Amino acid sequence: MPRTTQMFRKIPFALPLAMLTGMAGAALAQTAGEGDTPPPAPGVAGGHSQAAFIASYDRDGDGQVTQEEFLAVRTERFEGADKDGDGALNEAEYVAEFEGRLRQQYAEQDREPDKFFERGLTQAGVRFALLDRDRNGLLSPEEDLASAERTFAGMDTNGDGVVSAEDPPRERRRRDNDGSDDAERSAD
């Protein structure tokens, strides 16, 4: 079967990475769809979806998220996570912040931490490594801002400067070119 062989050869290195990094969000989504478990509501720690994004960042409740709103929340989150006050996030600080939001989401949905919870934490560590672009073991405000801007641009698919229900869904293919972009989104 030459075609099969060819297909395997063509699988890019980006694939496992994209799979890994997408899993934190996907894990939450997967818990949803199957069986009797009701789907988790859009939460602070989970979901790539537009609705989850808007629910998390639409501070003034007008149904859309401006870049200012998004960056304000991100900045607060960053500063809140910087427990040792050195102006940057180490991996433990980054993962702890994510864990806090994930716990809150589970609590709101009356769910006990499960394997998806654990997996989510593992993936947070993977994301940290991707976001720490200069690999000095610290996520700087600049690195965080850069990733926030990528995330926002990725959600604002019609490019009008706000994320709203009018933004058409993106093609998945584009995300797979940049693992960090996808990774970042699962943190939101």
Note whether 144 binds Ca ion by CB under 5 A.
no
Note whether 37 binds Ca ion by CB under 5 A.
no
SS3 call for 38: coil
Note whether 69 binds Ca ion by CB under 5 A.
no
Note whether 142 binds Ca ion by CB under 5 A.
no
Q: Is the dihedral of CA 141, 144, 149, 150 positive or negative?
A: positive
- Which one of 62, 76, 86, 108 is in contact with Ca ion (CB under 5 A)? 86
Find the distance separating the first CA and the last CA of the chain, reported in whole Å.
42
Separation of alpha carbons 72 and 58, rounded Å: 11
What is the pattern of x (binds Ca ion, CB under 5 A) and - over residues 90-129? Answer: ---x------------------------------------
Residues facing residue 89 across a β-bridge: 139
Instruction: Please say which residue, 33 or 85, places its beta carbon nearer to Ca ion.
Output: 85
Instruction: Please say which residue, 82 or 184, places its beta carbon nearer to Ca ion.
Output: 82
- Tell the smallest beta-carbon distance from residue 60 to Ca ion (Å): 16
- Tell the smallest beta-carbon distance from residue 56 to Ca ion (Å): 16
Separation of alpha carbons 152 and 110, rounded Å: 30
Q: What is the DSSP string of 101-162?
A: HHHHHHHHTT----HHHHHHHHHHHHHHHHH-TT-SS-B-HHHHHHHHHHHHHHH-TT-SSE
- Which one of 59, 160, 172, 174 is in contact with Ca ion (CB under 5 A)? 160
Binding site for Ca ion (CB under 5 A): 82, 84, 86, 93, 132, 134, 136, 138, 140, 156, 158, 160, 162, 167
